[in-house]
Amino acid sequence: MIIKPYYKKPRFELYQADSLKLLKEFPDNNSVDMVFADPPYFLSSGTFTCQNGRMISVKKGDWDLGNGLEKNFKFHLEWIKAVRRILKPNGTIWISGTYYL
């Protein structure tokens, strides 16, 4: 399976895809200079909250439903390891995230 870039310019490609499937398509080391990732935060619970006096769903999508702390952590380790495999030796990874208690 070949995943095509969502957007492409010389020396720049942007992908919107399942990271674990996409990363398998890149060759080892020296493939990419930088990765910017916005992984699932696993904050959706499938329930509702009250916001400005209205009931609002906190389910953003099935992709954001948590699988328990251990499985969520394993997922993050798996995709970060896959990114590390394709980064150039001096490559960098930027990860967008949040921290909620």
pTM for the full predicted model: 0.73
Positions of the chain with pLDDT lower than 70, given as ranges: 1, 99-101
Confidence (pLDDT) at 8: 95
H-run or E-run covering 75 = helix 69-86
Classify residue 16 as exposed, middle or buried by CB count within 10 Å of its CB (0-12, 13-18, 19+). Answer: exposed
Distance between the two ends of the chain, CA-based, in angstroms?
39
Point out which residues pair with 7 in neighbouring strands. 14
Q: Domain boundaries in the chain?
A: 28-95
